[in-house]
Structure formats: structure tokens, C-alpha cells
Chain A
Amino acid sequence: MTQSVKTLFLFAFVAVLIIGTGMVQSWNSALLILNMGLVSAVMALGVNLQWGIAGLFNVGVMGFVALGGLGVVLTSMPPVQEAWSAGGLRAIGALVIIAATVAASAYIWRNFRKAWLVAVVLIGGLILYRMVRDPGVAAIEAVNPAVSGYLGGLGLPVLFAWPVGGLLAAGGAWIIGKTALGLRSDYLAIATLGISEIIIAIMKNEDWLARGVKNVIGLPRPVAREIDLQNNPGFVEAAAGYGLDATTASTLYVKLSYSLLFAIVLVIVLVLAQLALKSPWGRMMRAIRDNEVSARAMGKDVTFRHLQVFILGSAICGVAGAMMTTLDGQLTPSSYQPLRYTFLIWVMVIVGGSGNNMGAILGGMIIWFLWVQVEPLGQGLMNILTAGMADGSALKEHLLDSVQHMRLLTMGLILLIVLRFSPRGLLPEK
């Protein structure tokens, strides 16, 4: 079986899985899986660019996804005028001070190499920052804390937020890449893991930015609202024509619109990634991945290329994160868990086949499907296993309760099995 036939076959299999879900469970859950599967596929493409093509071990995916989500709030929410007048200047000033402090200490270190001077600048900058920031933040957070208490966004249409999310993630990646790239592979892994935790900590604690753990809800949507569709007589009539009631038809319509938008983004990213892979640039990246020393000897600037691909991959993860937050309609910083947003994406890339873009997409769809479906499957399994036990026995209840944790176990087993028996994944790199 040639690779392209295999690719076709496996994607057909994914289609069968999703259509099967639609027939057996409901079309709504099938579309839910499809939508998040598409988002996951975009994330997997980003990670694949970094790992599959350039060999960078980034375990901070969660941070970039979260930055993308932050981008949605900062772009699409209406600005809170009162908060801006209360402390907007101070907040911006504080950010400028921090940036200036870091830049100044980097400059001093590069030109004078005096550690004590750097320390003085850093501590002075930090004190100045706190003096400017603290009253401003207090003022912003005091503005109607129950519904706003933050600066709000720019009030732009939400679709703009997707590239903005990508840009934010790219900016974050630039800072991280400047410090952490060039470290050994496992140091880079630990550094990115740490940075993603810090990004989440900032999003949880800086209430003036995006309300922290109070969450931003009611984000604008790029598609119609269900309730508007249900009140639209033309839509209800059309739905009746397909034999659907208005409620079901409206939820399906909304989800399908999202699917369409996500599919467009996925195709754009995929085409760009394929072009990059096949271009001289892609060949150079793979040459660097396979033998850094000889690539360096051929005059390639390895550090710069690593930074480049790290930023690109992270930006793609940021776009995916913005898409996901738009789909959810809210930003909840406490929902970002590394197992779900970093390591699961890694499972997708490895299972799909690292280095192969189609593989990344396939892995994204299949693993997401499993992630969602393992729970009902496990539930069924446990029900059969515990059928013989007396009702109300502690063991039975415990077993039924813990079904929700089957996911992690299953994902771990899948990752281990693939790494052991088929380390190149379902669709190996050509």
C-alpha cells in the first residue's frame, strides 16, 4: 500500500468514526468532536513544525495556546472606558518600564559585563514598576469588579483575534526563544514547561488584563447565535424542510459554521506548512535537525533558524488557541492543564507521525476522538465489569467513579505503544 493510499484510507477511517458518532450518539456531539479535532489538528501542525521538521522539543504548548486565548479577549471585547481612564496610563507605563528594564539590563550585560550594575538596574526597575503599577491596577480592578474590573479589549471583530492570538504567541515565543534556545534538548523542554506555567500564572493573577480566575465570558462570536436563528422564520421553515426541529437545526447550523471556519484555517496552515516543508527552507531545517554540526559547518545559522521555526510553530499554536477560545465563547485561565494542552498535543504528533503534516492532522483528529470517546467506552466497560457486584458496594462505586480518569491511562499506553512498535507514527515522514 503506497503512502497516499494509506493516507486516504486513514482519513476515511476518521470520517467513519465521526459519522458513526453522529449516527450512534448524536450529530451535535459528532460536530463537537469534529470542531475540537480541527483545532487540535492545527495545534499538532504547529508542534510538528517545531519537532518533526526542526527537532525542537517544546513542552510549553499550553502557554502559547493560552496566549492565543488571551488574544481573543484583548482584540474582541469592548474596551472598558472607565477602567482606561482610571488606570490605563499607569498599566501601559508599567509594561513600558518592565520592557525598558529588561532591555537596559541586557544592554548593560552585553557591553559592560558588570553583574552588580545589572542587579541594580533590575531591582530599581522592579521597584519603579511596582510603584507605577500597583495604584493603577487597584484603580482598574475597582471599576465595577463584578462584570469588568479589567481594561477590556479593542472591540474589533472576533475573527481578527485569530491572527492577533498568533502574533501574541509569536511575541512570547521570541522572548522564550531568545533565552532558552541553544540549550540542550532536555533543558529546552524544562524551560518551556516552566514558561508555560508562568504564562498561566500571569493570566490567573493579573486581573486587570483579562479578569484572571474570574474569567471573561460572553466573547463575541463569528457565527450566528442559536436564539436568533430560532426566531428567524425563514430558518425554521428551512429546517422543517429537512425534517429537523428549530432547536436542533440551530445548534447544528452554528457548529457547522464553526467547522467551516476552522477547516478554512486548517487548510491554509496545511498548505503553508507543506510549501515550507518542500521548499529549500524545509530541506535546510531537516538538514539542521538531522545533523546540527554539519549544517553549521555548511554555514547555516542554526540558532537563528531554530528561533525562526520556534516562533512560527508557536504562532500556529496561538492561532489554534484563539480559535478554541472563540469556540468556547469564554476565557477560563484555570482550565489550562499541561496534560491536556501540552502533552496530549505531543501524543497527537507522535501517533500521527512526526515530520509529516498530514500525519499531524490525522493524529490530531484520531487522538481527539479517542480522548472524548474513551470516557463513554470506559463507562460501558466498567458497567459490564461491575455488573456482578452488589449495588452500593464501595468498590463498585469507586470503579464507576474513576472511569473519568481512564483517559490519561489510555493516552499514556497509546503513546508508549506507538513509540515502541511504530516510532515513526501512522503516517511516517517520507
Chain B
Amino acid sequence: MDFLNALVALSNFVLIPALAYGSQLALGALGVTLVYGILRFSNFAHGDTMAFGTMTVVIFTWMFQSMGISLGPLPTALLAIPFGIAVTALLVLGTDKVIYKFYRRQKAKPVIIVMVSIGVMFVYNGITRLILGADEQRFADGDRFIISAREFKALTGLREGLAFKTTQGLTILTAVIVVILLFWFLNKTRTGKSMRAFSDNEDLALLSGINPERVVMVTWLIVSALIVIAGTLYGLDKSYKPFTYFQLLLPIFAAAIVGGLGSPVGAIAGGFVIAFSEVGITYAWKKVLRYLLPENLEPDSLVQLLATDYKFAVSFMILVIVLLFKPTGLFKGKSV
């Protein structure tokens, strides 16, 4: 019984939140990794693109809500995602045309393009704040829980409750579907194959007649879709605030680098590595240990390795360790 209680407490506070957070990070890191693989720069505007995309979803959600459209138990935001993706894709493609294309033609050094992406980050950030402001926004609706802690306790008779939020379930499910679709696209379709070829060896790909502008366009489209979905899921699960999204840049980059920049499988693995370490290291293990250890060994303190505010430190430490000992990441990414 105690073991079951420990397991439930562990799932409730560590496994399920980390699984949901990991899925969000994985989707974000996939975007970073694709941009890096095809366009060959680290996109610092990624977090703010996410903030912009989620903002459009928030606005469409409010519009639907005011028109009385809803999905019943599911959040209305799901309905708004395609519209959000469309608007974000327009913005991102426009940015590419006006800004990045010039540097691509010039074959500018990656570090210059990174700097340009910092400029883009400022502009996106400004746009988001101009339209929606810098405050926290709530846009989740529908049922809050698939199963709430009280229902679970009544159902199983255990002392520990297990709350499974709708948004968590949705996040994990959506992430699985999106990842399957993405891999199918990359491995089976012609465009996907040309993207991988381009990422592997640009010159050879160009020689074999692949149109680089088309590859770049498709990449941005996929990245917009990934980023809007990831941002919306994060916003539903926690809450939407532009600055938080900017800060997500760090764990997302850490995930992409840990997995190996340029490697989609790596991005997913990296997302979960970062999420589980972050949640695991900042969780107070007292509750779980109380069930598992005999009474005389029970810990007095919270058994929390680091305060929650240091979660950035966790993703950062992992990043440093990987960079020092395995610079190409877990899944052999690029190190140009």
C-alpha cells in the first residue's frame, strides 16, 4: 500500500508534470533544431516567436468564446490553433523574406545571423506587447481535470490523490501525434527527404536540383506550426506571459543541444531529459520518501536538492556537462 501511495505521489508531482513539460520542450526544441539544420543558425527569436504565436491563439480563442463557440470539455484554444499557425507562418515567412534571405544570399557568418535574430526577437517582443501587453493572460476553458485528486482517492481508496489535468493529457497526446506526423513527413515525403538532404550536405543537395528557397519555406512553415502548438500547450498547462516564453529559450536550447543540434530525435530526447531533471531536482522528495523508507529513517527536511527558482540552473548544468563531455549531443548532432 505504501509503495502504491509513493508511486501515486511520484506520478502526481513528478512523472506527469515532467512528461507534459517535456513534450512542450520537445516540440520547441524540434523547431530550434530544424532551423539550425536547414538555415544553420541558432534562432534567438524562437521564444518570442512562440510568444507571438500563442498570442494569436489567445486572441482567436477569445473571439470564439465571445461568439459562443466551444469544444465542450476540451479547451477552445484547440480550435484556434490552426488560425494561430496561419498568422504566425505569415509573420515568419515575411521576416524570412525581408530579413534572413539577404544574409543567406550573402552567406553571412552564423554569428551575424544570430545577431540579426536578436533584432527580430526585439521586434516580435515589441509586437506581442503592443497588441496584448506584457501581463499574464488566461485562456484555458473546458474541463479542468480528466481525473481529479478527490475522484482518484475515492476510486482507489489510496491516501495520495492523482490529479490528471486535461491540459496535461492533451499535451502528451498532441505531442505524440505531431511527432509522428513530423517524422512521417521527414522520412516518407519528397519534400521531407529533400529537407534532410539539404541539412546533411547543402552543396550536394543543390547539385541534385533541390530548390533551396522551397526547402527554407517549408522549414519555416513546419517551425511555425510546431512553435504555435508548443506555445499554446504550455500556455494552457501553465499560463501565458510573454516574458516566460522568452525565458523558455534557455531550456529549449538546452534540450536541442543536449539531444544534438540538427537531430530531430535528439530534440525530443533532450526535451525529456531536461524536463525530468528540472522537475526531479527541484521537487521536494519528502512525501515520496516517507512512504518508501521505514519510519526511523524518515527525512526531517524537504529533501529538495535545489529551490524551484533554480530550475534554469538545472537545464544549464546539464547543458554544460553535455557540452564538455559530448559536444555533439546524445544523438550526434552537428558541431560546425
Contacts and interface: CB of A to CB of B under 8 A. Distances in A.
Pair from one complex: yes
A183 B133 CA distance: 37
Contacts, number: 128
Given A184-B335, A201-B310, A205-B307, A343 B42 contact: no
Contacts of B82: none
Interface in A184-222: 184-187, 189-191, 193-195, 197-198, 201-202, 204-205
Interface in B143-196: none
Nearest to A205: B309
Contacts of A410: 126
Interface string B292-336: 000000000100010101101101100110011001000000011
A201 B131 CA distance: 29
A423 B113 CA distance: 12
Given A193-B250, A412-B119, A406 B130 contact: yes
B120 A186 contact: no
A244 B115 CA distance: 47
Contacts of A197: 247, 250, 312, 316
B24 to A, nearest CB: 19
A413 interface: yes
A184 B110 CA distance: 11
Contact of B111 (A186, A191, A202): A186
Interface stretch (A92-100, A311-319, A414-422): A414-422
A276 interface: no
A346 B118 contact: yes
Given A205-B309, A339-B122, A343-B122, A57 B114 contact: yes
B102 A412 contact: no
Interface residues of A, number: 47
Interface string A45-86: 000000000000101000000000000000000000000000
Contacts of A412: 119-126
A189 B114 contact: yes
A401 interface: yes
Instruction: Give the interface size bracket for B toward A.
Output: 35 or more
A36 B49 CA distance: 31
A401 B119 contact: no
Given A186-B42, A190-B250, A205-B307, A411 B122 contact: yes
A408 interface: yes
A126 interface: yes
Interface in B15-47: 41-42, 44
A406 B126 contact: yes
A208 to B, nearest CB: 13
A146 B175 CA distance: 47
A205 B106 CA distance: 46
Contacts of B102: 420
B206 interface: no
Contact of B319 (A190, A346, A408): A190
Contact of B323 (A187, A408, A409, A420): A187
B257 A187 contact: yes
A204 B112 CA distance: 33
Contacts of A180: 320, 323
Given A187-B323, A189-B42, A190-B253, A402 B130 contact: yes
Contact of B116 (A187, A401, A406, A419): A419
Interface of A: 57, 59, 126, 130, 134, 179-180, 183-187, 189-191, 193-195, 197-198, 201-202, 204-205, 337-339, 343, 346-347, 350, 401-402, 405-413, 415-416, 419-420, 423
16 contacts: A180-B323, A190-B42, A201-B310, A338-B246, A339-B122, A405-B129, A405-B130, A406-B126, A407-B126, A408-B123, A410-B126, A411-B126, A412-B120, A415-B118, A415-B122, A420-B102
